[in-house]
Structure 1
Amino acid sequence: MAQKSEIEWTDATWNPVTGCTKVGPGCDNCYAERFAERWRGVADHPYEQGFDLKIWPSRLEQPRLWKKPRMIFVNSMSDLFHKDIDRRFIDSVFDTMERADWHVYQVLTKRSSLLRNYVGARYAGGPVPRHIWLGVSVEDAAHASRIRHLKEVNSEARFISFEPLLGPIDEVDLHGIAWAIVGGESGPGARPMQADWARRLRDISERDGVAFFFKQWGGARPKSGGRLLDGEEWNGFPWRIVPKSILDALQPENV
């Protein structure tokens, strides 16, 4: 099921795969798992299987039906590079993204080495198409190696989601990254984010020429703490990497 997204940094979600398994502390309070498990056992519901991994071939062509260009978050309810997803199905997802090239696709993973290896093989002859953005989630310093893997991808459109930010990331080189998104955890048992952690990533982003987006403080609900950092909204977006052919159709007033 594809839908308009309430996520601040995208327009729509596309889930050719749903369900996942945990790979680190950033997964402990997964919002997608919490949502999907509400429907486990409900006959004929898209999440009848809860958060168990499920492949949806019937959804592969959805972006081709959307004629107006959109920012599309790929697999908001899963991880495209989960080890149990057949490579041939990942090929099919990338085939669709390449054909429906009037959209921008935002692919986000915690399985950064699998992303690097797959993309390196698929695009061995050149860079990843600019309308396919590749990103990694990094929740703390212990998982900063995902940034190194991302930098090994031949793409101008690399981004990082520091959400939920669970600890300080003091020393990191973001040169070569187009966009940094920072946010605190939300939902039951949300772990608090300290202001200095967010400020440090903002300052590093400014130093290294990275567009900086502060998404939320988090709390019991996503909007509980608002999204002001030091009294300001930080809505940085990497417009420079949006292909010129679709730039005006997306958000011309922000360019």
Structure 2
Amino acid sequence: MQITDISWCTYSWNPVTGCTRCGPECENCYAERFMRRQAKRDDAPAYMSGKAWTRENENEVVTCHPDRLDEPLEYSYPDGPGRIFVVSFGDLFHRCVSDSFIQSVVDTARECPAQEFVFLTKRPDRAAQMEIDWPTNAIVGTSVGSGPGGEEPDTTHRIDQLRGVDARLWISFEPLIEPVGDVDLSGIDWVVIGGESAPADERREMEHVWAKAVYDQARAADIPVYYKQDSGAKPGENPYLTVQDPETGVFKQLEIQEHPDIPEVTQRARQEKENVGEHGGRR
């Protein structure tokens, strides 16, 4: 585990690394780019592969790490309790990951109620098909970057699939590579919006009007919104969205970084840890 630069969470935990491309958002995947670059180092771990994240290479690029399952229980949490991005360098629900391993990851999350565990998958259909008793300190999301009638394949069907997961739910509209149109956000607890991070000659620029359309729909449904970034060479570039200031009515660029309410079980666990001066997990 480690502190992460991803702005909407505090830490990252990767009991699974690697994935295979399964949608238009994957074209400039930061995780694939990083892992393939790191694999070229002389001291690179054996599990790192320089091969492309294609289905043909899945057995070489997707790795489960049983030795990392207890990391949230043992980690020192230097920034205090927070949100943990689960599998930021892969997809927990990839078909190369067994049901039992997925359950073990979820079980660890349950044993650490002082932390919030943020799951994200492009395979919400599998997550919905599994019989998982999700802990209340988990929130499960899917990525949606394209809509109907555009140049890219429509990915909004993942939202309906996600609603089959019995947990708190969120949508990552990142990278938002074209308009997604009107989307049904019923049952969704959090929305994150962001443009693509990639070199200028590769990235697909997000238009603010696309992000504003998603923002307006989330606002109408009273869903917290986190605007992560514009399109840019690096993550976090220009985290401001042009919206109407609710207090003045004037349109301005605002930094919108909202989160869903912290679950009661997490609030209680944090209070208990604070009382004894601890922030880690417990068995």
* TM-score, scaled relative to structure 1: 0.88
One-letter identity of the residue aligned with 1:171: D
Partner residue, 1:204: 217
- 1:22-50 per-residue CA deviation (whole Å, 9 max, x = no partner) reads 00110000000001111224354246324
Following superposition of structure 1 onto structure 2, how do residues 90-129 of structure 1 map, counting pairs within 5 Å? 90-118=102-130, 121-123=131-133, 128-129=134-135
Change (3 A) 1:15 1:246: same
Q: Which runs of 5+ in 2 are unaligned?
A: 54-60, 148-153, 243-252, 274-283
Partner residue, 1:236: 258
One-letter identity of the residue aligned with 1:79: D
More divergent stretch after superposition (65-74 vs 99-108): 65-74
Partner residue, 1:33: 32
> Residues 14 and 75 of structure 1 are in contact (CA less than 8 Å); yes or no, is this contact kept in structure 2?
yes
Distance 2:207 2:128 in 1: 31
Aligned pair partner of 2:136 in 130, 141, 144: 130
Distance 2:123 2:187 in 1: 19
Partner residue, 1:152: 164
Shift of residue 154, structure 1, vs aligned partner: 2.0
> Residues 175 and 210 of structure 1 are in contact (CA less than 8 Å); yes or no, is this contact kept in structure 2?
no
> Residues 10 and 71 of structure 1 are in contact (CA less than 8 Å); yes or no, is this contact kept in structure 2?
yes
Shift of residue 103, structure 1, vs aligned partner: 1.2
> Residues 69 and 249 of structure 1 are in contact (CA less than 8 Å); yes or no, is this contact kept in structure 2?
no
> Residues 196 and 231 of structure 2 are in contact (CA less than 8 Å); yes or no, is this contact kept in structure 1?
yes
Shift of residue 235, structure 1, vs aligned partner: 1.0
More divergent stretch after superposition (7-16 vs 240-249): 240-249
After TM superposition, which residue ranges in structure 1, 4 or more long, deviate above 4 angstroms? 246-250
Shift of residue 57, structure 1, vs aligned partner: 0.8
- 1:172-192 per-residue CA deviation (whole Å, 9 max, x = no partner) reads 121211100000001121110
Distance 1:237 1:218 in 2: 22
One-letter identity of the residue aligned with 1:108: L
Q: Which runs of 5+ in 1 are unaligned?
A: 251-255
More divergent stretch after superposition (73-82 vs 173-182): 173-182
> Residues 7 and 236 of structure 2 are in contact (CA less than 8 Å); yes or no, is this contact kept in structure 1?
no
What secondary structure is seen at the aligned counterpart in 2 of 1:135?
Answer: strand
Partner residue, 1:12: 11
Distance 1:107 1:244 in 2: 19
How many pairs were matched up?
Answer: 241
* TM-score, scaled relative to structure 2: 0.80
What secondary structure is seen at the aligned counterpart in 2 of 1:149?
Answer: helix
One-letter identity of the residue aligned with 2:197: S
Q: CA RMSD in A?
A: 1.9
Which structure has the larger Rg over C-alpha atoms? 2
Distance 1:248 1:167 in 2: 43
Aligned pair partner of 1:216 in 225, 229, 235: 229
Change (3 A) 1:40 1:228: same
Task: Choose between structure 1 and 2 for higher RCO, CA contacts under 8 A separated by at least 6 residues.
Answer: 2
- 1:214-251 per-residue CA deviation (whole Å, 9 max, x = no partner) reads 00002122244x1111111111111254643246699x
